Amino acid sequence: MTCIISPMFEFQITAKNNRARTGIFTTPHGDLLTPVFAPVGTQATVKTLTPEHLKDINATLVLGNTYHLYLRPGDELVRDMGGLHNFMGWHRPLLTDSGGFQVFSLAQTRKIDDDGVTFKSHIDGTMHRFTPEKSIAIQENLGADIIMAFDECSDPNNHKYTKLAMDRTHRWAERCLKAKTRDDQALFGIIQGGVQADLRAESAKFIASLDTPGIAIGGLSVGETKDEMHAMLDVMYPLLPENKPRYLMGVGTPEDLINGVLRGIDIFDCVLPTRLARHHSAFVQEGRLNLMNASFARNEHPIDETCDCYTCQTFTRGYIRHLIVAKELLAGTLISIHNLRALIRLMESIRSYIADGSFESRAPELLKQWHGNAERKLVHG
């Protein structure tokens, strides 16, 4: 089934395994094989890695943060330098968020009203204002292939406020759609509604009703339990159109990816693999390795014997531990390469399992293998 979801974007579902599916999401900068995991390049760089490293680990989609890039170096500068792809030397697909999440989490928010948000920069304390129209204008200057509607991500447990924020997010999504001028960018609306099943259902229906080429799910992975996250995904699933890619924002761990795909998610992003790497922690199937541990000093094995990444093909745990102890920045680079490759390789496996029809039956075993990498309670398929 191929769906022309907008003039320059197509989404073709190539295999299904109950709710899980593989697809090809065609964008102006190339095809994404879904489900896909996107490394995060907040400030126009995936921290400590070159675009060449990212190509080597078969990364296809990279995320940039609108809030950060607006503040520094400025979206107009990026536009004048040929757009974010040219600026950062990444010529495969890019996705930008709307800035909403960071305005509410990083900046000092000064005033939220129905028109927009006034906030204070976390960098220099200057005052700024984002509206739906402004977020789209910034994202059009940046020029990513996939862009997000401006949204408000509220405290997920306060039903009354969550409803207010959700309603505002819906009105903002309509304004974003109207403000958008470029047809080489796919705008996704964002479902909110916290962990309230009624609000999630209402938001899913509303966002699904908009004429957008994709659907994002926001406000999860912000402190709720895994049970709550999965319950919300289950509530939304039947309300989402089959023919549009679904993006679960800010998720996650290896288990989150498996659990998300099981619930019909196509796109993921998360800072976790690179953030953990800079804190010496590596994804392996037995659990996370803290490579600073003295027990690794003379360890002649790679981080993961089964991994095909440059780091695992070239260096021992003992060498990486030495780099960490000696405060050599290369440690962060090498572990980032491994951690990102681990998630991208997991997605490659998942795609092949969906293609051969074995994903659902393999999922419990996969979840068991990656147990120990969860930050919170694991919930199996």
Q: Which residue's CB is nearer to a second copy, number 311 or number 373?
A: 311
| Contact pick of 117, 176, 334, 346 for a second copy (by CB under 8 A) | 334
Instruction: Indicate which residue of 75, 266, 269, 304 is catalytic.
Output: 269
Beta-ladder partners of 217: 191, 248
84 touches 69 (CB < 8 A)? yes
- Quote the CA–CA distance of 38 and 330 in Å, as a whole number: 22
Q: Which of these, 244, 245, 280, 274, lies nearest to 343 by C-alpha position? A: 274
Q: Which of these, 36, 42, 88, lies nearest to 59 by C-alpha position? A: 36
User: Least separation, in Å, of the C-beta of 87 and a second copy?
Assistant: 6
| Contact pick of 1, 2, 18, 72 for a second copy (by CB under 8 A) | 72
User: Least separation, in Å, of the C-beta of 96 and a second copy?
Assistant: 16
- Quote the CA–CA distance of 269 and 337 in Å, as a whole number: 16
| Contact pick of 25, 37, 67, 87 for a second copy (by CB under 8 A) | 87
Residue 60 CA, chain-centre distance (Å), reads: 12
Residue 83 interacts with a second copy (CB under 8 A)?
no
Residue 79 interacts with a second copy (CB under 8 A)?
no
Please, what is the end-to-end C-alpha distance for the chain in angstroms? 26
253 touches 264 (CB < 8 A)? no
| Contact pick of 183, 329, 357, 375 for a second copy (by CB under 8 A) | 329
| Contact pick of 318, 348, 360, 380 for a second copy (by CB under 8 A) | 318
User: Least separation, in Å, of the C-beta of 105 and a second copy?
Assistant: 18
Residue 258 interacts with a second copy (CB under 8 A)?
no
Residue 339 interacts with a second copy (CB under 8 A)?
no
Is 211 catalytic? The answer is no
Beta strand spans in 193-318 (E): 214-217, 246-248, 267-270, 281-284, 287-290
User: Least separation, in Å, of the C-beta of 250 and a second copy?
Assistant: 21
- Quote the CA–CA distance of 218 and 151 in Å, as a whole number: 8
215 touches 234 (CB < 8 A)? no
Is 97 catalytic? The answer is yes
| Contact pick of 1, 4, 77, 355 for a second copy (by CB under 8 A) | 77
321 touches 296 (CB < 8 A)? yes
What does the binding site for a second copy look like in residue numbers (CB under 8 A)? 43-45, 47-52, 68, 72-73, 77, 80-82, 87-89, 297-298, 300, 310, 314-316, 318-319, 322-323, 325-326, 328-330, 332-334
Provide the annotated active-site residues: 97, 269
